[in-house]
C-alpha cells in the first residue's frame, strides 16, 4: 500500500461581502480537488468585526483604490475564468444591512451541519458576486438553506439559532480566531505547518499556500 500523505489543516477565513474572498474561495475549491494533502476548514467571519478590532478599513473606502478594484476584479475573474459581476446592491451590502445575518447563518451551519457549509458558502458567494442578487432581502437565507439540502425543520432551527446569543457568539469566536492569527482583512488563510501556523492574506498569495503544501501554482487558471 502506498504512503498516505500527511494532511495539512488550512483555515480559510472569509466573509461573502468580500469579492477577493469570492475569488479565493473559487480557486481554493479547484485546489481542494487536486491537493490531497490539504484539509480545508472553512471559517466564516464578520469582516466588519475584523476591521473594527484592527482599525483597518475596506479597500473601497479609498476612492482611487475603489476605482482600481472596478478594473482589477473583472480582470481577475476573466483571467481565472469564473463568473463575476458587480453587485448593484453594494451600498446596502457594504454600508447598510451588511452580511452579519448571512455570516451568522454560516457560523451555525459550520457547527451544526458542517457537511453543507461548502455548498451554502458557494451559493451565497455566487448570489453576491456572480448573480447580482440582494442577499440582504428577507427570505434569501431561507431559500439558500433549503437549496443546500436542509430539511424545513433543520432550516428553521438554523435560522433561529443564527439570531440567538449562541449563534451570535459562534461568529464572534470564529472572527476572534482570525484576529488571534493576526488577520486584518479577508481572505485570510492559516496553514498549520509542523513549524507553526503561517497566516497569509489575499487571493493573490495563494501561490505561497501552494508552496507550503508542496504544490506548483499552475493549473488553476482554466480549471
Point out the residues that are catalytic: 18
Question: Among 36, 78, 180, 204, which residue interacts with ligand GSH (rule: CB under 6 A)?
Answer: 204
Closest-by-Cβ residue to ligand GSH is: 185
d(CA 10, CA 199): 10
Least distance (Å) between residue 34 CB and ligand GSH: 21
d(CA 118, CA 115): 7
Least distance (Å) between residue 89 CB and ligand GSH: 16
Distances, alpha carbon 184 to alpha carbons 49, 51, 106, 129, in Å:
10, 7, 20, 22
Least distance (Å) between residue 204 CB and ligand GSH: 4
- Judged by CB, which is closer to ligand GSH: 79, or 146? 79
d(CA 182, CA 204): 18
- Judged by CB, which is closer to ligand GSH: 65, or 142? 65
Least distance (Å) between residue 18 CB and ligand GSH: 3
Q: Does 184 bind ligand GSH (CB under 6 A)?
A: yes
Question: Among 99, 103, 162, 203, which residue interacts with ligand GSH (rule: CB under 6 A)?
Answer: 203
Neighbours of 37 (CB within 10 A): 13
> What is the DSSP secondary structure assignment for residue 131, as one 8-state letter?
S
Cis status, amide bond into 85, omega within 30 of 0: no
# residues contacting ligand GSH (CB under 6 A): 12
- Judged by CB, which is closer to ligand GSH: 11, or 148? 11
Residues 22-61 that bind ligand GSH (CB under 6 A): 56, 58-59
d(CA 175, CA 124): 19
Residues 58-117 that bind ligand GSH (CB under 6 A): 58-59
- Judged by CB, which is closer to ligand GSH: 98, or 202? 202
Say which residues have a Cβ less than 8 Å from residue 4's Cβ, sequence separation at least 6.
Answer: none
Asked if 208 and 191 touch (Cβ cutoff 8 Å), the reply is no
* Residues in the chain, overall count: 223
Question: Among 11, 13, 18, 162, which residue interacts with ligand GSH (rule: CB under 6 A)?
Answer: 18
Asked if 112 and 162 touch (Cβ cutoff 8 Å), the reply is no
Give the binding range for ligand GSH (CB under 6 A) out of 25-33, 78-86, 130-138, 200-208: 200-208
d(CA 131, CA 23): 14
Q: List interacting residues with ligand GSH (CB under 6 A).
A: 18-20, 56, 58-59, 184-186, 202-204
Amino acid at each position: 500500500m502506498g504512503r498516505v500523505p500527511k494532511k495539512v489543516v488550512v483555515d480559510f477565513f472569509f466573509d461573502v461581502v468580500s469579492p477577493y474572498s469570492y475569488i479565493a474561495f473559487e480557486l481554493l475549491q479547484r485546489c481542494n480537488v487536486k491537493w490531497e494533502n490539504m484539509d480545508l476548514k472553512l471559517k466564516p467571519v464578520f469582516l466588519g468585526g475584523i476591521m473594527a478590532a484592527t482599525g483597518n478599513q475596506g479597500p473601497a473606502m479609498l476612492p482611487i483604490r475603489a476605482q482600481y478594484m472596478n478594473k482589477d476584479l473583472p480582470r481577475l475573474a476573466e483571467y481565472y475564468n469564473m463568473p463575476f459581476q458587480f453587485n448593484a446592491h453594494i451600498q446596502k451590502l457594504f454600508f447598510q444591512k451588511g452580511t452579519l445575518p448571512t455570516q451568522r447563518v454560516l457560523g451555525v451551519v459550520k457547527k451544526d451541519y458542517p457537511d453543507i457549509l461548502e455548498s451554502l458558502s458557494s451559493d451565497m458567494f455566487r448570489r453576491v458576486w456572480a448573480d447580482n442578487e440582494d442577499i440582504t432581502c428577507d427570505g434569501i437565507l431561507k431559500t439558500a438553506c433549503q437549496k443546500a439540502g436542509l430539511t424545513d425543520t433543520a432550516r428553521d432551527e438554523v435560522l433561529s439559532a443564527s439570531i440567538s446569543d449562541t449563534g451570535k457568539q459562534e461568529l464572534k469566536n470564529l472572527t476572534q480566531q482570525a484576529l488571534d492569527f493576526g488577520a486584518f482583512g479577508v481572505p485570510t488563510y492559516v496553514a498549520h505547518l509542523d513549524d507553526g501556523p503561517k497566516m497569509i492574506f489575499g487571493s493573490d498569495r495563494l501561490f505561497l499556500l501552494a508552496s507550503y503544501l508542496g504544490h506548483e501554482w499552475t493549473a488553476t487558471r482554466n480549471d
